[in-house]
Amino acid sequence: MSEIVYLNGDFMRLEDARVPVLDRGFIFGDGIYEVIPVYSKHPFRMQEHLARFRRSHDAIRLAYPLSDAEWTRLVKDLISRNAGDDQSIYLQVTRGVAKRDHAFPKDTQPTIFGMSSLLSTPAREVVENGVAAITTIDYRWLKCDVKSTSLLGNCLLRQVAADAGAVEVVMFRDAFLTEGSSSNVFVVKNGTVLAPPKTNLVLPGITYDVVLELAQANGVPHEVRQVSEAEVRSADEIWVTSSTKEVLAVTTLDGKPVGSGKPGAVFKRMHQLYQDFKRTVMRQAA
């Protein structure tokens, strides 16, 4: 089954989808995107993903081109036209095609694109052993809360991790924890989960919200507050979260073991809560 994508109103094979080179997404990275995980053909936290997508449009002063009902229909169509029970739905809107000029063009149609790929959640071995991360300075712009396709900073930073054989960077700005190149970061200190607040310096992760909701509902001690670099470096546990990574333990930071060097007890509890929650939600959706 070949991959079927959506482009500006039509479904087509991925290899047939074409965008003009003057698209502002290509020229300037002038667009926003969203990634929605799909389990057993059901989108997970759809309303929350669409709410964030709408906020991304507002943040870059782009009219929200489809209604929530139309996005939902589009996502369902992509799911049914593509193979796999578990998928990752990618939606992107750019400011469209126009003569190259930084200021916004008048009266252009946005480019609307959607695709699906197979969702591969972390293998059991990765969950059980954790992953390596390295620390970097967060030199990205000051609108990291916008899920923008302008991801050069994130790509450069992720490559620093890849070059070091690590899966993610843990970033600091002014000696405070921000996030990873494509994930939010939590730490555990003396049994309390610490999460940096949702400011302009981090992407408001959908998984981040789920983790904090689960902590709240299950009596896991947690605090949302600024986390210093020193606290990260002396943390008992470090986690990264995202729609595709779910919750993963970071077991080495800059080559040194985090805590015992194995995924910690609080991580194990949260990972289990997350899996149980996913199952419950999917059963309700079925």
Which residues are catalytically annotated? 147
Q: In whole angstroms, how large is the CA radius of gyration of the chain?
A: 19
Query: Please, what is the end-to-end C-alpha distance for the chain in angstroms?
Result: 24
Interface residue with ligand PMP among 87, 94, 148, 182 (CB under 6 A) is 182
One character per residue 12-51, x = contact with ligand PMP (rule: CB under 6 A): -----------------------x----------------
Supply the minimum distance, in Å, between the C-beta of residue 124 and ligand PMP.
Answer: 21
Supply the minimum distance, in Å, between the C-beta of residue 169 and ligand PMP.
Answer: 10
Supply the minimum distance, in Å, between the C-beta of residue 267 and ligand PMP.
Answer: 16
Does residue number 243 form part of the binding site for ligand PMP (CB under 6 A)?
yes
Instruction: Return the number of the residue (30 or 168) whose C-beta is nearest ligand PMP.
Output: 168
How many CA atoms does the CB half-sphere of 179 hold within 13 Å?
A: 22
Q: What angle do CA 236, 242, 248 make, to 5 degrees?
A: 35
Supply the minimum distance, in Å, between the C-beta of residue 139 and ligand PMP.
Answer: 13
Among the residue ranges 94-102, 200-208, 256-264, 271-279, the one whose residues contact ligand PMP (CB under 6 A): 200-208
Distance CA 126, CA 194 (A): 23
Beta strands in 61-209 (DSSP E): 87-94, 111-118, 131-137, 168-173, 176-177, 184-189, 192-195
Among the residue ranges 74-82, 235-243, 247-255, 267-275, the one whose residues contact ligand PMP (CB under 6 A): 235-243
Among the residue ranges 69-77, 106-114, 116-124, 239-247, the one whose residues contact ligand PMP (CB under 6 A): 239-247
Beta strands in the chain (DSSP E): 4-7, 10-13, 31-39, 42-43, 87-94, 111-118, 131-137, 168-173, 176-177, 184-189, 192-195, 222-224, 237-242, 246-253, 256-257
Does residue number 56 form part of the binding site for ligand PMP (CB under 6 A)?
no
Does residue number 183 form part of the binding site for ligand PMP (CB under 6 A)?
yes
Extract the tokens encoding 143.
Answer: 């609108």
Q: Give one word for 112, left, alpha or beta, with left for phi > 0 and alpha for psi -120 to 50.
A: beta
Does residue number 203 form part of the binding site for ligand PMP (CB under 6 A)?
yes
Does residue number 88 form part of the binding site for ligand PMP (CB under 6 A)?
no
- Locate tokens 């070059």: which residue? 163
- Locate tokens 């939590």: which residue? 186
Does residue number 206 form part of the binding site for ligand PMP (CB under 6 A)?
yes
Report the DSSP beta bridge partners of residue 246.
Answer: 242
Interface residue with ligand PMP among 7, 207, 212, 220 (CB under 6 A) is 207
Does residue number 242 form part of the binding site for ligand PMP (CB under 6 A)?
yes
Helices 46-59 and 206-217 sit at what angle, rounded to 10 degrees?
Answer: 130
Instruction: Return the number of the residue (96 or 173) whose C-beta is nearest ligand PMP.
Output: 173
Residues binding ligand PMP (CB under 6 A):
35, 154, 179, 182-184, 203, 205-208, 241-243
